[in-house]
Amino acid sequence: MWNSNSRFLFFFLVLSTICCDKKKTNGTTATEITTRIVKQNLQHVWEIVWGPDDHIWFTEREGKISRMNPTTGAIVFSSTINEVVSSGEGGLLGMALHPDFLTNGFLYVVYNYNSPNGYKEKMIRYTFSNNSITGPTSIIDNIAASGIHNGSRIRVVNESTGVKIYFTTGDASDASTAQDVNSRSGKVLRLNADGSVPADNPIGGNPLWSYGHRNPQGLVFVNNKLYESEHGPNIEDEVNIIEKGRNYGWPTVNGLCDGGETPFCTTNNIKEPIWSSGNNTIAVCGIDYYNSDKIPEWKNSILMATLKDASLRQLKLSTDGNSVASTSIYFKNDHGRLRDICISPSGNVYICTSNGGNDDKIIEISK
């Protein structure tokens, strides 16, 4: 007869076989990689964030914010924003936590809503305390929205002049707005933590930081460089380094400056991407920076979720971070469409699927 320890070991091994797929990769690593489903039966997960409270925060497009224990998958907090209107690819989208979240509880979210002037986008700050969120404060609103191309990634960072918010917006189905510096669409915007415009922005009183973007859905700071991933139309998805006041070319330029695009690039000082998908699209999405020793082959790499290609891309950066030295593809078609990614301080990677229905998942990738 088995003792209690023997029974525990047996059931642990059975569970491990069910939940984990060893080395489910298309790229190759000397490090053995396993995957584990942390949470399933979710609906259109859009953003996942590793919080300073060692929990994963995530949004679902229909309007729900949740806080999850990454070890057990238990949801320890959730709240639904009733004003959210999910239409096409619109709904509750980007989210970020303030650098001093453990002290002030500030949580920023971007969502689409109906206004008297049509379908719009806004950023709201909530305060998380005592396992609830209170005090919605408008940071920026009345941005054009659509069933497609809403951008909406957020990064909140400490700078020498205080906390700053970087926020991507799509062209909201009107490509011409991306080149209009007075429009908030097709941009990377930069704001103070309270929503005011920083004094050192490129144009006085204007939240614009960069322009000429189509649908940027990935954003991460690495060694004081801001990297962005962006959907192309039917060719040339991009990864860019975002610089103050620079023009990234959309809708005239797709990817690198070539052919008939060259005169426009020269005249408008277009900043070219450091990576392009070439003559197709893979629908690039959320990005994060991996610099852990846990999976050493991924060190100094941008990891990027893709939707259409249904894979995780590794973009190994050059030593100076100004170019992509090599690329690898992992988990192609293993989990379907991948929307976003976050990385724990210990080097575990978490991805979320975007397959629709009621069976989207958050998956852990680990050594």
Q: pLDDT tens digits for 67-101?
A: 999 999 999 999 999 999 999 999 999 999 999 99
Residue 15 exposed, middle or buried by CB count within 10 Å (0-12, 13-18, 19+): exposed
pLDDT at 26 (0 to 100): 61
3-state secondary structure of 79: strand
pLDDT at 27 (0 to 100): 75
* Residues in contact with 252: Cβ distance below 8 Å, sequence separation at least 6, in sequence order: 179, 261, 264
- Which parts of the chain sit beneath pLDDT 50? 1-2, 4-25
* Residues in contact with 359: Cβ distance below 8 Å, sequence separation at least 6, in sequence order: 40, 41, 42
From residue 150, give the alpha-carbon distance in Å to each of 30, 66, 127. 39, 21, 24
- Beta-carbon count within 10 A of 235 CB: 13
- The encoded tokens of residue 115 equal 């206004």
- The encoded tokens of residue 36 equal 């584990």
pLDDT digits (tens, 9 = 90+) for 214-227: 999 999 999 999 99
pLDDT at 358 (0 to 100): 87
Length of the chain (residues): 367
pLDDT at 21 (0 to 100): 40
Class of domain 23-366 as given by CATH: mainly beta
Domain ranges of the chain: 23-366
Angle among Cα 220, 40, 362 to the nearest 5 degrees reads: 20
Residue 282: closest CA among 304, 305, 309, 315: 309
Q: Tell me the C-alpha distance between 252 and 122, whole Å.
A: 27
pLDDT at 18 (0 to 100): 32
The dihedral built from the CA positions of residue 255, 256, 259 and 263, taken in this order, carries a sign that is positive
